[in-house]
Amino acid sequence: MSKLTLLKNWFKNHKGTVTAFSGGVDSSLVLYVSNLVLGDQAIGLISNSESLKSKDYEIATNFCKKHNIQLKVIKTEELSDPNYTSNPANRCFFCKTHLYEAMIDIIQEEYPNHTILNGTNLDDLGDYRPGLEAAKNHHIKSPLAELKITKKEVIEMANELGLETAAKPPSPCLSSRIPYGTTVNKERLQQIEKAEYILNQYGFLNVRVRHLKEVASIEVPVNEIEDLKNKFNKISKEIKKLGFNKVTMDKEGFVSGKLNRVLNG
């Protein structure tokens, strides 16, 4: 039996589901397949908070419109929580706690027979992800992880189903660009989002701008570093206008989760 068939069968045991949706390939697969099986009893929920890129919000809302999936939009208030804004190593735990508590409130009021889901896949279980603890605390179901579906299999299934998110680069929350211990605030999040948008305009789609207080550190894939060097002066001038004193280029190139290295030292 294929993993996709297993996933479809998983939903047959549920009356309805509400999927924590980010617009990424994992949660879009969960949401899409839940909709295939459960129809209008499959609902997506997204928090349009400051830490979510506006482009990712647009991708998520367009996805649901295209596939006729009901999407509920809320706004969590993690920026009012000092446990989150102080930016500890387990920052994600507090963010996800806000999200899941809001989802539970909505479920109890509007969808009492529904199950709350997320897009955690099998590979995620091997990473440092404090948000997984928040999911466990709130009894959130992870069908991909339960069925031992890997990231590679998620992308294969998304391609098989013709989902436009199959080729979408990972896009973790904007706060992940700020080193642990440096305060997360609206101004810094906006600076990061605008800086990455500038890079997108110059043709760099899979980018990270690390917010090192006065310094913006740009990461692009290794094979795009030469192109970045050629455009760096123009890009640097534009990013400095956002309030950075200095713009640097990370010569190692783009590495997902680079700021987590301090946790292993």
CATH number for position 154: 3.40.50.620
What is the extent of the structural domain holding 209? 174-264
Q: Which of 150, 167, 184 is the last residue of a domain?
A: 167
Edge-to-edge strand ranges of the sheet holding 215-219: 208-212, 215-219, 246-249
What CATH number has the domain bearing residue 196? 3.30.70.2210
Task: Tally the domains of the chain.
Answer: 2
Give the chain's mean pLDDT. 94
Give the confidence band of 259 by pLDDT, cuts at 50, 70, 90. low
Give the confidence band of 262 by pLDDT, cuts at 50, 70, 90. low
For residues 51 and 161, membership in a common domain is answered with yes
For residues 99 and 55, membership in a common domain is answered with yes
Give the confidence band of 1 by pLDDT, cuts at 50, 70, 90. confident
pLDDT tens per residue, range 87-131: 999 999 999 999 999 999 999 999 999 999 999 999 999 877 899
The single residue listed with the structure tokens 């928040």 is: 134
Q: Residues 225-251: what's their mean pLDDT?
A: 97
Q: What is the pLDDT of residue 126?
A: 82
Question: What single string gives the DSSP state of each residue in the chain?
Answer: --HHHHHHHHHTT-SEEEEE--SSHHHHHHHHHHHHHHGGGEEEEEE--TTS-HHHHHHHHHHHHHTT-EEEEE---GGG-HHHHT--TTHHHHHHHHHHHHHHHHHHHH-TTEEEE----GGGGGS--THHHHHHHTT-B-HHHHTT--HHHHHHHHHHTT-GGGGPPP---GGGGS-TTSPP-HHHHHHHHHHHHHHHHTT--S-EEEEETTEEEEE--GGGHHHHHHHHHHHHHHHHTTT-SEEEE-TT---TTGGGGGGG-
**CB 44, CB 64: distance < 8 Å:** yes
For residues 32 and 155, membership in a common domain is answered with yes
For residues 186 and 91, membership in a common domain is answered with no
For residues 89 and 74, membership in a common domain is answered with yes
For residues 25 and 120, membership in a common domain is answered with yes
For residues 132 and 190, membership in a common domain is answered with no
| Active-site residue list | 173
For residues 136 and 198, membership in a common domain is answered with no
For residues 84 and 202, membership in a common domain is answered with no
Give the confidence band of 169 by pLDDT, cuts at 50, 70, 90. confident
**CB 31, CB 69: distance < 8 Å:** yes
Give the confidence band of 263 by pLDDT, cuts at 50, 70, 90. low
Q: What is the pLDDT of residue 73?
A: 97
Closest among 71, 67, 63 to 20, alpha carbons compared: 71
What is the pTM assigned to this prediction? 0.92
pLDDT tens per residue, range 154-163: 999 999 999 9
For residues 206 and 135, membership in a common domain is answered with no
Residue 13 corresponds to which tokens in the numbers above? 């045991």
Q: Residues 244-258: what's their mean pLDDT?
A: 88
Give the confidence band of 258 by pLDDT, cuts at 50, 70, 90. low
66 has pLDDT over 60: yes
For residues 250 and 201, membership in a common domain is answered with yes
For residues 203 and 239, membership in a common domain is answered with yes
Sign of the Cα pseudo-torsion (106, 123, 211, 180, in order): positive
Q: What is the pLDDT of residue 255?
A: 79
* Percent of all residues in the chain with a pLDDT value above 90, rounded to a whole number: 90
Closest among 131, 71, 148, 136 to 106, alpha carbons compared: 71
20 has pLDDT over 80: yes
Q: Which of 167, 192, 215 is the last residue of a domain?
A: 167
CA–CA gap between residue 127 and residue 114 (Å, rounded):
28
CA–CA gap between residue 114 and residue 15 (Å, rounded):
6
